[in-house]
Chain A
Amino acid sequence: MGKIKLLQGNEACAEGALYAGCTFFGGYPITPSTEVAEYMAKRLPQIGGAFLQMEDEIAAMAAVIGGALAGKKALTATSGPGFSLKQENIGFAALTEIPCVIVNVMRGGPSTGVPTGPGQSDIMQCRWGTHGDHPVICLTPAYVQEIFSETVRAFNLAEKYRTPVIIAFDEIVGHMRERIEIPDPGVLPVQDRTKPTCPPSEYLPYDESKGDVPPMANFFEGYRYHVTGLNHGSDGFPVNASPRIHTDELRLLRKVESNRADIVRFEEYLLEDAEVAVFAYGISGRSAKTAVEAARKAGIKAGLFRPLTIWPFPEAQVAALSARVKGIVVPELSLGQIILEVDRCAKGRCRIEGIYRVDGDPINPAQILAKVKEAN
């Protein structure tokens, strides 16, 4: 029997991290994500973990990668402007294959925008924010309980695939309080990175012959090796020659692409016989669920596709959905970002209708219902 708690989404995120074995937090205060740091600041010293409030977002991301390389499961949490600042080092973690988890509690705006309001307009930045081609896993929970469980999953995916994992939820879910159950230890699976078993003299940190995810040694465990943000060979040392760079970057993408079945998670609600679908995540997904129920009451066969993994994008699922509905409605707290992905996968097989809002308030179910009726 787990523990029942009334928690805010941000607090549930911190609890999920602790459940997953996170013992390192590096952060910087920023609304609306600060409660994650505050919760970790209280809890980590109690369990012997390390809490660092760094001098800026960049250093916080750097410290998290350093902590992870030294063997810890490490977390940072931020919001829009801070997420922008972290991007270079997120790319460093992707290329050097150091597992870590980045929470982005999305607020509105470019620039300072609307710090206290919800947004979903960082979703393309989650995918493409750092420069260069790189693998990305990004999860989009919508309920406090789900923030807890998806944070556990984020750490598991980071460790399993040696890659940074982003959790992106909006300010409303981050600050909303809901009843959640924190399961007893052992109920949810917790995964640790695969370490090398070979003698140190034979260890190659980026040995593609060991599969797409080579074992990772922590610093100070006898496997002295080199980590660099330059493109590198299987031994970790810089390489600036073809074809290694090309083949290694393909391997990085393959870690995610060839494991979609494991990584991509979603909720399908009333979709079996649906003629109109709503594609929505986060707080927009919650409004959409209410709208779909209202549509059913009004005699419209509506259903909801709610991605919990937004990156990699659930391409096959959206393609299949587009082949059997008349239209897909895409409500999002941006001026039209994730709708581009839905449209790309639908390939003209059905109508795609967007609902956009960036004024600091959520999209309400009535707005979605109206669009569902239009699309029917």
Chain B
Amino acid sequence: MAFQYDRYIRGGKLPHIWCPGCTYGIVFKSLLRVVDTLAISKDDIALVSGIGCASRLPGYVDFNTLHTTHGRALGFATGIKMARPDKHVMVVSGDGDATAIGGNHFIHACRRNIDITVLVFNNYIYGMTGGQYSPTTPSGHMASTMPYGNVDPSFNIPELAKGAGASFVARGTAYHAAGLDKLLIEAIRHKGLSVVEIINACPTTHGRRNKFKSPTDMLLWMKDTFMPVAAFEKLPPEKTAGKFPIGVLYRKEGLPEYCETYYGLVERLKRQREGRV
């Protein structure tokens, strides 16, 4: 039987705001399937976002949902997780939201290794405001604020996350949707901060300016550009130019998780007090 998305989508809240050809719907559906697979109660999830196209996703799903200020989703999410460490806290964010205006919160959430799952929808552009270049816009690409081609070097989000201390880092794409389900399952199961960069397409504000003739071309570009990390690592360096790995790129189990460490301290103080009595 086909998956019943309606069980997770809020009645009357569709259609969504995303443009025809946008790949966010693919990721959206993956997230719902994954929550179902993991059998997490809808009451036990807080889905937090900032500002941008990706950040509109929480409005459509029947969880506890919080659509905050630009770049700050991780600050809000950290507060929620510290208040209720027994609950699942997830963040959806775009490339600009997570790594430009929210870059400081991103690296510090990674450093703390707090048990939050962060999905970064990377469509290489500020879509909602009409196609301005973001920290992930490739060099040379056209954007409304780079009308002569992007001169700004770009972030590699998984490397940024790993360098900042995230204990689980993965990358998937909207094209490799089946693989995305598996990555999200692993990310949510992981204890600690997990980052999944999800490559997405914005045909409206990125593709049209950059010689992608159709949304399909952008998906085919994903197919040609991204390959499983195991295969990627076997290639000699001259053959990896312009290619990127997908899959679990970095994982370190057993690192102290922030809430466990903090509430472990609370327990220790409690025992000390009782011992004294």
A binds B: yes
- Tell me whether A334 is interfacial, beta carbon within 8 Å: no
B16-50 CB contact bits vs A (8 Å, 1 = yes)? Answer: 00000000000000000000000000111010100
Q: A67-B83, A228-B59 are in contact. Are A52 and B67 (CB under 8 A)?
A: no
Interface of chain A residues 168 through 200 with chain B (CB within 8 A): none
A222-244 CB contact bits vs B (8 Å, 1 = yes)? Answer: 10111111100000011000000
Contacts of B78 in A (CB 8 A): 52, 54, 59, 62-63, 66
- Tell me whether A24 is interfacial, beta carbon within 8 Å: yes
A220 to B269, CA, bound (A): 27
- Range of interface residues on A (Cβ < 8 Å): 35 or more
Stretch at the interface among A13-21, A69-77, A247-255, A320-328: A69-77
Q: What secondary structure prevails in chain B residues at the interface with A? A: helix
Q: What secondary structure prevails in chain A residues at the interface with B? A: mixed
- A220/B266 in contact, CB under 8 A: no
- B269/A227 in contact, CB under 8 A: no
- A71/B83 in contact, CB under 8 A: yes
Q: A52-B78, A220-B46 are in contact. Are A62 and B68 (CB under 8 A)?
A: yes
- A62/B67 in contact, CB under 8 A: no
A307 to B142, CA, bound (A): 57
CB nearest neighbor in B for A71: B83
Q: A45-B269, A237-B59 are in contact. Are A69 and B80 (CB under 8 A)?
A: yes
- Range of interface residues on B (Cβ < 8 Å): 35 or more
B36-74 CB contact bits vs A (8 Å, 1 = yes)? Answer: 000000111010100000000011001111111100101
- A66/B75 in contact, CB under 8 A: yes
Contacts of A221 in B (CB 8 A): 43
- Tell me whether A58 is interfacial, beta carbon within 8 Å: yes
Contacts of B262 in A (CB 8 A): 45, 50-51
CB nearest neighbor in B for A61: B75
A92 to B79, CA, bound (A): 15
Q: A219-B46, A220-B84 are in contact. Are A89 and B62 (CB under 8 A)?
A: no
- B64/A92 in contact, CB under 8 A: no
Most-contacted residue by chain A among B42, B83, B87 (CB, 10 A): B83
- A67/B82 in contact, CB under 8 A: yes
- A229/B83 in contact, CB under 8 A: no
- A228/B84 in contact, CB under 8 A: no
A67 to B68, CA, bound (A): 14
- Tell me whether A56 is interfacial, beta carbon within 8 Å: yes
Known contacts A46-B269, A224-B63; can you find 16 more A-B pairs with CB under 8 A? Answer: A45-B262, A56-B104, A58-B75, A62-B74, A65-B79, A66-B77, A66-B78, A66-B83, A71-B83, A92-B68, A221-B43, A226-B66, A227-B66, A228-B66, A228-B67, A229-B69
